[in-house]
């Protein structure tokens, strides 16, 4: 041991209740201070820190493994040409170790590399005090909601210390984290989050800082040079954070570069959150960058969800009817019931702004039932006025097909308004092919409803599906029609699809008919019922009634 090492050892020996090991290339590992008498260290002398595997809690072994990997990486990056005045590199981890009483306690391991001794490591292991344990646990559970200044102050400090560097905020979480808690237990879920905490401690450099926001949501601020470099960092983070105890899980990352250092850091945190949420459920992407339209869409989504219950109670949702026409006879033969939202201040809100949100959050179940009842009321009113009713088709969303109780709801409405079931038709998208869904669809047919397969040709339709289908009518999707009408070969595909559908005993309705040429082509192919802007847009019930009345006049 040279003079410098001896001086360092004497300093370390003054550290009471601390177990200290040192390593250098010549001597390997050796004990400097045999303090911390409560530590069970029978195996720690052989192989240096590797011996800790035998006394560390099993749940923390992944953290120890990552710690040692990081330590080795730092050693490999050290060179003998380092300046003796270079600041030490420090690596820390908090682990549960088994003490002499065979109980588990929190221990902090600090390793120092450098400080003029680039090829030497000093490792200090000491039992954490009750206050330190408390602060460690507090740091794991801290959230921006409980302490909004915590992350913002640290991030602002980084921006101030490194004025010439570009920074970005990255937010990530575990997709469907609740499933992990349900399948493996909440203790495993908590251990996974603790693993992330310790991993992030080891991964963050001097120009990075992280915080656990809430539950499984984490955020970090990081410097970067290029967007590609930022994406590479996220791929690295993703690789480092996956694989805990072979539990399958998926991480989703949102990124928001800091473009204005005078703006509040929370704005960029929100931007990272918008980006992260925008790809939830998207199996093809695990990272996304913030775009300004995300904030607008998020505001629209919040408005929709904040006002949907009130809108339903106040009757702001209105049933519109889109006529179905006979191409050969040029008269109305039926209608499809569609939902529109007439807000007292915003006016008519596009379905594209609220239907996707309702399908995701489940409110579409309430909206569908409301439209079903409006359709039944309209049919009842026609009967009471002596008008021969036209069949009205209503949509059954995917959410209903999970339990099948919607069939009883439809039956109850038909009975309440005393209408023949033939006047209430049921439209269901063709992409539904699960066994449970198919069972509920067959039940609808058994209960006497006429079934329409909506959006045929848009997704997963196949000849095999048509072979045993319980549906009575196929609705050709607008996109299918437009895509194939542009070429001779495409037109032949449409023609033979129509002929085949008739041959197996199914009726046809063509959606999205927008031109006279399309209507005439469909009629020549044998499809007589069409629906689309060429004939009529969706309209309020009052306007539909006027069209019916005009059609009855000589």
- What is the predicted pLDDT for the residue at 83? 44
pLDDT for the residue 81: 45
Distance set, CA 405 to CA 373, 401, 410, 411 (Å): 16, 8, 9, 10
What CATH topology corresponds to 300-552? TIM Barrel (3.20.20)
Helices H, strands E: what count in the chain?
A: 18, 20
Q: Which residue has the higher pLDDT, 107 or 264?
A: 264
Helix or strand run (H / E) with residue 90: strand 89-98
| pLDDT at position 146 over 50 | no
What residues have CB less than 8 Å from 185, skipping those under 6 apart? none
Containing H/E element for 395? Answer: strand 392-395
pLDDT at position 109, please? Answer: 79
CATH 3.20.20.450 in the chain: give the residue spans.
300-552
Q: Does residue 542 have a pLDDT over 90?
A: yes
User: Mean pLDDT across the stretch 174-181?
Assistant: 89
Tens digits of residue pLDDT in 94-120: 777 877 666 777 777 777 776 555 567
The pLDDT, as a whole number, for residue 206 is 83
Residues carrying CATH 3.30.450.20, the chain = 3-128
- What's the pLDDT at 65? 80
| Choices 3.40.50.920, 3.40.640.10, 1.10.150.20, 3.30.450.20: CATH for 3-128 | 3.30.450.20
Catalytic-residue membership of 430: no
Nearest-angstrom CA–CA distance, 237 and 250: 12
Q: What is the pTM of this model?
A: 0.62
CB 195, CB 63: distance < 8 Å: yes
Helices (H), 101-165: 130-141, 148-161
Residue tagged active-site, from 511, 520, 542, 549: 511
| Window from 10-24, 285-299, 307-321 with minimum mean pLDDT | 10-24
What residues contact 313, with CB distance under 8 A and at least 6 apart?
none
Which element (helix H / strand E) includes 426?
A: strand 424-429
Q: Which CATH architecture has domain 135-290?
A: 2-Layer Sandwich (3.30)
CB 211 within 8 A of CB 172: no
Return the pLDDT at 125.
Answer: 83
Residues of each domain in the chain carrying CATH 3.30.70.270: 135-290
Whether 300 shows a pLDDT value over 50: the answer reads: yes
Tens digit of pLDDT for each residue in 327-340? 999 999 999 999 99
């Amino acid at each position: 041991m040279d003079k410098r090492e001896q001086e360092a050892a004497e300093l370390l020996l003054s550290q009471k209740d601390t177990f200290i090991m040192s390593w250098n290339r010549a001597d390997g590992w050796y004990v400097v201070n045999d303090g911390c008498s409560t530590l069970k260290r029978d195996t720690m002398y052989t192989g240096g820190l590797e011996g800790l595997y035998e006394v560390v809690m099993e749940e923390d072994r992944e953290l120890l493994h990552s710690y040692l990997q990081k330590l080795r990486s730092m050693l490999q990056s050290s060179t003998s040409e380092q300046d003796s005045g270079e600041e030490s590199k420090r690596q820390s981890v908090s682990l549960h170790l088994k003490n002499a009483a065979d109980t588990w306690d929190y221990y902090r391991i600090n390793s120092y590399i450098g400080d003029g001794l680039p090829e030497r490591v000093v490792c200090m292991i000491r039992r954490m005090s009750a206050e330190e344990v408390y602060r460690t646990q507090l740091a794991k559970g801290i959230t921006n909601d409980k302490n909004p200044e915590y992350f913002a102050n640290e991030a602002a400090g980084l921006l101030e210390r490194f004025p010439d560097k570009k920074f970005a905020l990255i937010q990530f979480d575990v997709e469907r984290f609740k499933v992990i808690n349900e399948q493996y237990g909440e203790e495993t879920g908590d251990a996974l989050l603790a693993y992330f905490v310790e991993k992030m401690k080891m991964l963050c450099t001097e120009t990075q800082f992280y915080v656990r926001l809430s539950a499984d949501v984490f955020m970090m601020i990081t410097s970067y040079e290029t967007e590609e470099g930022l994406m590479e960092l996220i791929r690295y983070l993703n690789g480092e954070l996956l694989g805990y105890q072979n539990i399958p899980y998926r991480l989703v990352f949102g990124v928001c570069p800091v473009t204005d250092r005078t703006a509040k850091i929370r704005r960029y945190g929100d931007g990272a959150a918008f980006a992260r949420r925008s790809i939830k459920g998207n199996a093809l992407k695990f990272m996304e960058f913030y775009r300004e339209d995300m904030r607008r869409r998020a505001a629209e989504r919040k408005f929709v969800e904040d006002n949907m219950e009130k809108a339903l109670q106040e009757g702001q949702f209105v049933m519109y009817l889109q006529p179905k026409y006979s191409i050969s006879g040029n008269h109305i033969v039926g209608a499809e019931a569609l939902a529109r939202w007439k807000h007292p201040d915003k006016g008519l809100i596009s379905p594209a702004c609220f239907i996707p949100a309702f399908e995701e959050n489940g409110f579409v179940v309430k909206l569908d039932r409301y439209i079903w009842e409006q359709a039944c009321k309209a049919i009842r009113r026609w009967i009471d006025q002596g008008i021969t009713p036209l069949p009205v088709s209503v949509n059954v969303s995917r959410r209903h097909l999970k339990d099948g109780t919607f069939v009883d709801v439809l039956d109850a409405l038909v009975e309440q308004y005393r209408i023949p079931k033939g006047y209430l038709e049921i439209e269901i998208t063709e992409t539904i092919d699960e066994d449970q869904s198919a069972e509920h669809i067959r039940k609808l047919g058994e209960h006497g409803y006429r079934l329409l397969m909506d959006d045929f040709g848009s997704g997963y339709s196949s000849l095999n599906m048509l072979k045993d289908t319980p549906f009575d009518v196929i609705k050709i999707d607008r996109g299918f029609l437009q895509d194939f009408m542009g070429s001779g070969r495409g037109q032949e595909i449409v023609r033979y699809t129509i002929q085949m559908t008739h041959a197996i005993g199914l009726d046809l309705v063509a959606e999205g008919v927008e031109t006279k040429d399309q209507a005439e082509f469909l009629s020549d192919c044998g499809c007589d019922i069409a629906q689309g802007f060429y004939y009529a847009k969706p309209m309020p019930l009052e306007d539909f009634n006027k069209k019916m009345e005009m059609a009855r006049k000589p």
